[in-house]
């Protein structure tokens, strides 16, 4: 098969990922093989490629928002049959027996493995996934529309929950990339007022078009106290102004897997009055299933731009540098 292969981590640039021919993967027990049609890009892919996360393995096929059709099943598989459309997300497997897994917090499992990090992902003609960790893709979405829901959507959904903003509340969104494009649709569907903070003028225009109550700069003060907020931008310097914009008892959720250094903060006004600062770590399968159900009801329509697989580096660079709205999606199958 053809795949975009990462052989050495380092700054994104020409040649960092190379289109190569590699052996077709074969599914083992409990694993299905998916003929990938599209795979959305993600900032986490950048963190893996550039070495911001601890090294897991190389060579590696990145990508963890893949949609395709099951074309082969391993021994013991019974959940999916060949021809079924499924999605592959970041969470690849867990131990299923530890206290975290047993209490519904499988995203914190010490033995968790992740797609496009510990195992090859979706920047390839074929990808493997344990059948218990594949998602059924609702009929209401094309492959291109479904792909961003598998990480940008799921993480945004979990981050919204972690922000503790109730339906009808006031939500702040810092950064307006692919996750934010999905999260704002969920929040508005729940009757929330959404306040968007972003440095990019094109993203501000998009936020207004999507229904934001107010839009301003990345570190502007909020015009009203926020019930909760989500920081999608991997910029630690935004944490203090975001905390300052919260009401008493409000929560700021850090949605990224990596964030730059958070500067020193004064206890008052940043964390006093029982304000909370929390993080978001991966997701549970329940998060993904709940998001997909609500996405059909809304219905969510992610903003995407298609690239051929061999232009993966360009797609990641365009997303990183804010040259596109929404999500860069790689077209794998013709």
pLDDT recorded at residue 287: 97
For range 177-192, the mean pLDDT: 96
| Percentage of the chain modeled with pLDDT above 90 | 97
Clarify whether residues 143 and 161 are in a common domain: no
> In angstroms, how far is CA 169 from the centroid of its own chain?
23
Clarify whether residues 137 and 188 are in a common domain: no
Clarify whether residues 118 and 246 are in a common domain: no
DSSP β-ladder status, 66-73 and 31-40: antiparallel
pLDDT recorded at residue 3: 98
pLDDT at residue 220 is higher than 90: yes
Q: Residues 41, 105, 120, 78: is their CA dihedral positive or negative?
A: negative
**What's the CA gap between 85 and 134, in Å, rounded?**
10
pLDDT at residue 30 is higher than 90: yes
For residue 52, the domain's CATH number is 3.90.180.10
pLDDT at residue 146 is higher than 90: yes
**What's the CA gap between 257 and 271, in Å, rounded?**
22
Per-residue burial over 304-325, b = 16 or more CB atoms within 10 Å of its CB, e = otherwise: bbebebebbbebbbbbbebebb
SS3 (DSSP) at 236:
helix
Residues 36-77 have pLDDT tens digits of 999 999 999 999 999 999 988 899 999 999 999 999 999 999
For residue 273, the domain's CATH number is 3.40.50.720
pLDDT recorded at residue 178: 92
Clarify whether residues 127 and 141 are in a common domain: yes
Domain boundary among 241, 261, 279: 279
Structure tokens at 27: 């599914």
Whole-model pTM: value is 0.94
Q: Which are the contacts of 66, defined by CB distance < 8 A and separation ≥ 6? A: 34, 36, 38, 39, 40, 87, 88, 115, 121, 122, 127, 147, 150, 332
Clarify whether residues 115 and 196 are in a common domain: no
Clarify whether residues 103 and 13 are in a common domain: yes
- pLDDT band at residue 160, thresholds of 50, 70 and 90? very high
> In angstroms, how far is CA 114 from the centroid of its own chain?
13
| Percentage of the chain modeled with pLDDT above 70 | 100
Clarify whether residues 228 and 290 are in a common domain: no
pLDDT recorded at residue 55: 83
pLDDT at residue 325 is higher than 90: no
Clarify whether residues 211 and 199 are in a common domain: yes
pLDDT recorded at residue 56: 80
Domain boundary among 279, 295, 312: 279
pLDDT recorded at residue 322: 87
For range 279-296, the mean pLDDT: 97
Query: How many other CB atoms sit within 10 Å of the CB of residue 252?
Result: 27
User: Max CA-CA distance within the chain?
Assistant: 59
DSSP string computed for 260-317: PPPPP--HHHHTTTT-EEEE--S--HHHHHHHHHHHHHTT----EEEEEGGGHHHHHH
pLDDT at residue 224 is higher than 90: yes
Clarify whether residues 235 and 209 are in a common domain: yes
Compute the mean pLDDT over every residue in the chain, rounded to the nearest whole number: 96
Clarify whether residues 245 and 291 are in a common domain: no
**Which domain range does residue 216 map to?**
154-279
Clarify whether residues 161 and 190 are in a common domain: yes
Clarify whether residues 96 and 142 are in a common domain: yes
pLDDT recorded at residue 334: 79
| Residue 151 main-chain phi, psi, to 5 deg | -140, -60
Total number of domains constituting the chain: 2
**What's the CA gap between 67 and 34, in Å, rounded?**
8
């Amino acid at each position: 098969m053809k795949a975009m292969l990462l052989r050495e981590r380092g700054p994104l640039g020409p040649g960092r990922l190379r289109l190569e021919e590699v052996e077709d993967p074969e599914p083992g027990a409990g694993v299905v093989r998916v003929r990938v049609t599209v795979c959305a890009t993600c900032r986490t892919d950048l963190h893996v490629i550039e070495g911001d996360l601890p090294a897991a393995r190389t060579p590696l096929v990145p990508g963890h928002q893949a949609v395709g059709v099951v074309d082969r099943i391993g021994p013991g598989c019974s959940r999916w049959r060949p021809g079924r459309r499924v999605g592959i997300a970041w969470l690849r497997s867990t131990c299923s027996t530890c206290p975290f897994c047993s209490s519904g917090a499988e995203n914190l499992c010490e033995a968790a493995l992740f797609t496009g990090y510990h195992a090859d992902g979706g920047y390839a003609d074929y990808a493997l996934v344990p059948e218990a960790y594949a998602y059924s893709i609702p009929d209401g979405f094309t492959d291109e529309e479904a792909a961003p829901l598998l990480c940008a959507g799921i993480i945004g959904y979990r981050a919204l929950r972690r922000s503790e903003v109730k339906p009808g509340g006031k939500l702040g969104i810092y950064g307006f990339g692919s996750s934010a494009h999905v999260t704002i649709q969920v929040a508005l569907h729940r009757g929330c007022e959404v306040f968007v903070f972003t440095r990019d003028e094109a993203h501000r225009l998009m936020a207004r078009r999507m229904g934001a109550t107010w839009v301003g700069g990345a570190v502007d003060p909020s015009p009203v106290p926020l019930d909760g907020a989500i920081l999608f931008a991997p910029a630690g310097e935004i944490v203090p102004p975001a905390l300052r914009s919260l009401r008493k008892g409000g929560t700021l959720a850090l949605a990224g897997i990596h964030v730059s250094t958070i500067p020193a903060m004064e206890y008052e006004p940043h964390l006093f009055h029982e304000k909370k600062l929390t993080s978001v770590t991966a997701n549970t399968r329940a998060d993904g299933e709940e998001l997909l159900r609500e996405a059909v009801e809304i219905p969510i329509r992610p903003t995407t731009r298609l690239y051929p697989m061999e232009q993966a580096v360009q797609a990641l660079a365009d997303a990183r540098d804010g040259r596109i709205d929404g999500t860069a999606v790689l077209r794998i199958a013709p």
